[in-house]
Structure 1
Amino acid sequence: MGVKGKKTLPDVDLLVKTFFVRKKFRPDPQGSSVLMTFFAQHFTHMFFKTSYKTNAGATWSGHGVDVTSIYGSNVSDENLLRSFKDGKLRMQVLNNEEFPLYAKDARVYMMYPPGIPESSQFALGHPFFGLLPGLFLYQTIWMREHNRVCDILRGEHPDWDDERLYQTGKLIILGETIKIVVEDYVQHLASYYVNVAFKPEVLFGYPFQYSNKIVVEFNHLYHWHPLMPDSFNISGQQVEMKDYMFRSDLVVKHGTSAITDSLSRQRAGHMSHHNHGAVTLHVLRDTILHGRELRLQPFNNYRARFNLQPYTTFQELTGETKMAAELERLYGDIDAVEMYVGMLLEKRRKRALFGSTIVDMGAPFSVKGLLANPICSPIYWKPSTFGGDVGFDIVKTATLEKLFCNNIPGDCPLVSFRVPEFVEGDVDEGNNFNFRPPPRDEL
C-alpha cells in the first residue's frame, strides 16, 4: 500500500455502507444450500483460529485438518468429552435422540454470553459452536458417527481397550472428513463437469511434503459471511437470525431430521457485494481493518502471485459500471484495491460461487491442506491405520448423505449441498437477483 492510488485508504465504514450492506437478500446463483454453508463453517473452524488477543496474524490452530473441532483443542477438553468406555464420547438422550452433554455437565470452555438458558448451552469441541444451531447439528452428527464407528470397531476387535478404540475411531473420523470434503464439498464449490475423487495414492512415488501451514490470506479469503441468510426456515417456520443465535435447543426441539431437511432446502446467499447481513457487518469491517494492520498486499498483487492476469480497469474487475466508478473514486488506481474488497467485488466466474480469484487462490491452499495430512501418506494410508479393512472401507466409502443417514433415526431426510429446485440460470443477476420464472413447459 502507498505505492499506487490515494495517499490514504478509504474509510472502512464508507466502504461497508457503499458496497457491502445487504438491502435485499441475494440468493446464490449456483443453488447452494444453507446445509453447505454450515458445513463450510464447521469444517474450517478446526484450522481457522485467530488469536485476536495476541494479534490478527496469530493463530492457536494446528495448521491442518485435525478434527479438533469435534473432539476439543486440548487433552483437558478431550477428556471432558470422553466417556472412557468402549472408546465413545459422552452423550445424553433428549427428545428420543442422542445429543452432546450440557455445558454444566462437561465443563469445557465455551463462549456463551450471559443470559443463555442452560437448555441451550452444550459442551462442544469448539468454544464457538454454540453460536448457531447449524453448527450444533454438525457437531451432534459427527459425535454420533464417532460412537457408531466405535461400536463397529469393538465388534471387530473385542479385545481392544477404550484408548485404542477411541484413537482409532478418531482416525476414521479424520479420514471420513477429508473424503467428504473432497468429494462432496470441493466438488460442489468447483462445479466441475467431472467427479473429484479422493485418492491419496496418486501422489505416492512423487516428492511431496506431508505437512501444512495455514496462511493468514487463506483465512481472510474464507470469510464467506454473505452465504448466511437473514432468517432460517425450520419446517415452514421462519426464525430470524437474532432469534437463531445461541439456540442449539432448536435442534433438540425439532429433531435432527427436520433441521437437516430444512437446511438442505433453503438457499444460501451469494458470496458477493451488497449481501452482508446486519449481524455479520462487524466481522466484515474487522476483516478489512485486519488486512490493513497486517499490511496485506493489494488485490492485483495476489492475482499476479498466483499467475492470474491482474485487472487493468475497475470495470473489468466488477463487470459493471456503477460500482467501478465508485471504486475508482475511492481508491484512485486499480492496483490499490485491497485484497478482501477486491474478492467480494469481483464479477462471478461462470458456474462458480465466486469470482476467479477466490477459486484460483483458494484451491491450492485447500488441496495441499487436505492431501498433506499424515494419514494420506504412504506410511499411514493403509487398513492397519483404521483398525483393518472394515475401518478403511468406512473411510473410502464415506459420503455426506451416509454421514447423516447413518446417524439420524427413522427415514433419511434430504441431505444436499444444493437446493432441490435449482436450475442453472434461475437467478437473474442483472435484475437485482430476482428469480426467473420457469420455462412455460414447466408451468
Structure 2
Amino acid sequence: MMTSASDTRRTTTTHQIDLGQIYGLNEGVQQALRVLDNEPGKRGRLLSEVHEGEEWAPRLFSADGVRDPRFDALPTPMKMPPTLPVDRKATLFAFGGERANSTLFTAAINTLFLREHNRLCRVIEAANPGWDDQRIFQTAKNVNVVQLIKIVVEEYINHISPYWFKLLSDPSPSYTARWNRENRIPVEFNLLYRWHSLLPETATWNGTPMPIGDARFGNGPLLRDGLGIALDSASQSQAWRLGLFNTAAVLRPVELASLKQGRDNRLATYNDYRERMKYPRLTRFEQISGDAEVIAALKKLYDNDVERLEFFVGIFAEDLPERSAVPPLIGRMVALDAFSHALTNPLLSPHVFKEETFTPAGWASIAATSSLRDLADRNLPNGTAGLRISMDRPTHLSVA
C-alpha cells in the first residue's frame, strides 16, 4: 500500500491484492503496458522484449536516459535519485507500480509475474482460439492474481508463522464468516508492515557479497545474469532480525518518517492496540522485551511510563517468539489481515472462484501453484535445476 505524499491519512493504491505493481492502478497505465493486438499469438499479452534468450518488460528509458513516450502514463519510479547514472536508468523496466524497480530483486519478482501472464495468455488462447484480446487479457490477469494470493498464503504466511501446521488458501470456510467483507487497509497496517530491519546491508548476488545499495535502481546484473540467478541470489541472501536497533543506516530516515506518520495520524497507544487485539495491557516495560538495551531506551524515551509507548515503536520492541519471523502483536494483526483480506478478494467469492471463470487451463494452473518456485519452473528458459528458490533460510546460515 502506498501512502499519499500530500496526505499521510490516505493511500494512493487499492486495498486488494491485485498485482497493481505489474498491471498498474488505472486503465491508462494498463493500456500502455499491453500489446493490444487481436492477431493470433499476440492476444492478451503484456509488452515484453527478449534479451539474452529471456523475456523482460520493455525499458522505461532509452540508452541515453530519455523516458520512452509510450509510457508517459506510467508512474515515475518512487524515490529514484535525480542523479541516477544514465547507464543504470537505461536498465529500468516499464512496470505499472511506482516501486517496481526499487531494487533488482523487486524487479525480478515482477518479471516472473509478467512472464507468467504471457504464458497464461498462450495456454488460454490455445484452448480458446475464438476469444479476443480483451477476454484473454482479463482471464490471464485474474488467474495470475489468484496465483499470487495462493503464494501469499501457502508460502509467505506459512514461512513467517510459528505454527507447526500449514495453512491452505481455501476460501470456502470464509464464505459464511461474519468478517467476510472486502477489507480497507488502515494506516496501522501500513505501518506494521514496515519491516525495514529485515533488510541486510549486504546481500548475496551470484555467490558473492553485494552492498544492498548497489541493488537499488539498476537492473544491469539481472539482465546480465538472468532471472534464475536473481531468484537464487535472493534465496541465498540472509535477512536480518526484525526489531529495534537493527535497521540499516540507509533506511533510518524512513523509520523516522514512519514514526512521524503515526503521530500525525494521532494513533492510539501500543497498549490500546494490544487490548483491541485481545492481549492484556502491559504495566511494565520488562513485559515487552528481555533485552536490557531495549528496556532502557524505552524507559528513557517514554519517561518510564509504559502507557505512553507508541504503536509503531511498541510493535517492533517485542521479543520474537520461537520459530516466528515477527513479534506477537504484528503476527496477530497480519494473521487477521490474511484471512479478512486475502481470502475475501472478490475473485475468491463462491460466485467467481470456479473453473468456468478461469478456464480449465487457468484453473489447472491455479491448482498447480503454491510457491514462487512453481512459477519459476514454468518461466525460466533452463528450468530451476540447481537453483535455490525458497523463502526459508538455508540451513548453513545463522540468524543475524
TM-score, normalised relative to structure 1: 0.82
Per-residue CA deviation, residues 102-146 of structure 1 (Å, 9 max, x unaligned), is 114441222243334242222112022212001100110000000
Q: Conserved in 1, the CA contact under 8 Å of 2:33 and 2:46?
A: yes
Determine if contact 1:201/1:378 at 8 Å carries over to the other structure.
yes
Aligned partner of 2:27 among 71, 75, 86:
75
Select the residue among 160, 176, 196 that pairs with 2:167. 196
SS in 2 for 1:233: strand
How many angstroms apart in 2 are the aligned matches of 1:262 and 1:128? 20
SS at match of 1:406: helix
Does the CA contact (< 8 Å) of 1:110 and 1:130 recur in 2?
Answer: no
Deviation at 1:205?
4.5
**What residue is the counterpart of 1:371 in the other structure?**
343
Q: Cα RMSD (Å) of the superposition?
A: 1.6
Displacement of 1:66 in angstroms is: 1.7
SS class of match (2:288): helix
Deviation by residue 1:29-84 (Cα, 9 ceiling, x = unmatched): xxxxxxxxxxxxxxxxxxx111122x111111221112211111111111111011
**Alignment match, 2:187:** 216
Which sections of structure 1, spanning at least 5 residues, go unmatched?
A: 1-47, 428-432, 434-443
What amino acid is aligned across from residue 8 of structure 2 in structure 1?
A
Candidates 408, 418, 438, aligned match of 2:392:
418
Question: After superposition, where does 1:194-273 map in structure 2 within 5 Å?
Answer: 194-207=165-178, 209-273=180-244
Query: Equivalents in 1 of 2:294, 2:175: separation in Å?
Result: 48
Query: Secondary structure of the equivalent of 1:103?
Result: coil
CA–CA separation in structure 2 for the residues paired with 1:186 and 1:202? 18
Aligned to 1:39: none
In 2: Cα distance, 1:331 partner to 1:411 partner: 54
1:182, distance to aligned residue in structure 2 (A): 0.7
Shift of 1:291: 0.7
Whether the 8 Å contact between 1:256 and 1:408 is mirrored in structure 2 is: yes
Letter of the 1:92 partner, please give it: E
Partner of 2:2: 49
3-state DSSP of counterpart to 1:98: strand
Residue 73 of structure 2 corresponds to residue 102 of structure 1: no
8 Å Cα contact 1:110-1:124 kept in structure 2: no
8 Å CA contact 1:230, 1:241 repeated in 2 = yes
SS at match of 1:363: helix
Structure 2's unaligned 5+ residue stretches are: 37-41, 62-67
Q: 1:211/1:96 Cα in 2 relative to 1: closer, same or farther (>3 Å)?
A: same
Q: Are the equivalent residues in 1 in contact too, given 2:60–2:90 (CA < 8 A)? A: no
Q: What is the CA-CA distance between 1:354 and the residue it aligns to? A: 1.9
Aligned equivalents of 1:382, 1:206: Cα separation in 2: 20
- SS of match in other structure, 2:321: coil
Retained in 1: the 8 A contact 2:16–2:341? yes
Distance in 2 between the 1:323 and 1:228 partners? 20
The equivalences for 1:135-154 within 5 A come to 135-154=106-125
- Equivalenced residue count is 377
Which of 350, 356, 361 is matched with 2:328 structurally?
356
Q: Which residue of 2 aligns with 1:13?
A: none
Q: Which amino acid aligns with 2:341?
A: G
More deviation, 149-158/407-416 = 407-416
User: How far apart, CA to CA, are the structure 2 residues paired with 1:381 and 1:258?
Assistant: 35
Partners of 1:180 and 1:239 in 2: how far apart? 27
**2:371 pairs with 1:405:** no
How far, CA to CA, are the matches of 1:126 and 1:134 in structure 2?
Answer: 15
CA distance in 2, matches of 1:391, 1:210: 26
Whether the 8 Å CA contact 1:110–1:123 is kept in 2: the answer is: no
Partner SS for 1:307: coil
2:89 maps to 1:121: no
When structure 1 is superposed on structure 2, of 134-143 and 210-219 the one drifting more is 210-219
Query: Is contact 1:81-1:123 (8 Å) kept?
Result: yes
Partner of 1:345: 317
| Percent of paired sites with the same residue | 29
Q: Which moves more between the two structures, 324-333 or 144-153? A: 324-333
Larger deviation, residues 212-221 vs 254-263: 254-263
* Matched residue, 1:134: 105
Residues 355-413 of structure 1: per-residue CA shift (max 9 Å, x gap): 111111221122211011111111101111102x2211211221221111211111302
Counterparts of 1:243 and 1:182, CA distance in 2: 31
Task: Tell me the CA shift for residue 265 of structure 1.
Answer: 1.2
**Contact between 1:210 and 1:374, CA under 8 Å: does it hold in 2?**
no
SS in 1 for 2:272: helix
Q: Which has the higher contact order (CA 8 A, sep 6+)?
A: 1
Output the CA distance in 2 between the equivalents of 1:385 and 1:411: 29
Select between 244-253 and 149-158 the one with higher mean Cα deviation: 244-253
Whole-Å Cα distance in 2 between the matches of residues 250 and 181 of structure 1?
27
SS of structure 1 residue aligned to 2:209: strand
Q: How many Å separate the matches in 1 of 2:383 and 2:129?
A: 31
Equivalent residue for 2:65?
Answer: none
1:216-242 deviations in Å (ceiling 9; x for gaps) = 100000000111111221112322122
The change in CA–CA distance for 1:395 and 1:338 in structure 2 (over 3 A counts) is same
Amino acid at match of 1:362: V
SS of the residue 1:238 aligns to: strand
Matched, 1:86 2:43: yes
Q: Helix, strand or coil: the match of 1:93? A: strand
How many angstroms apart in 1 are the aligned matches of 2:300 and 2:235? 41
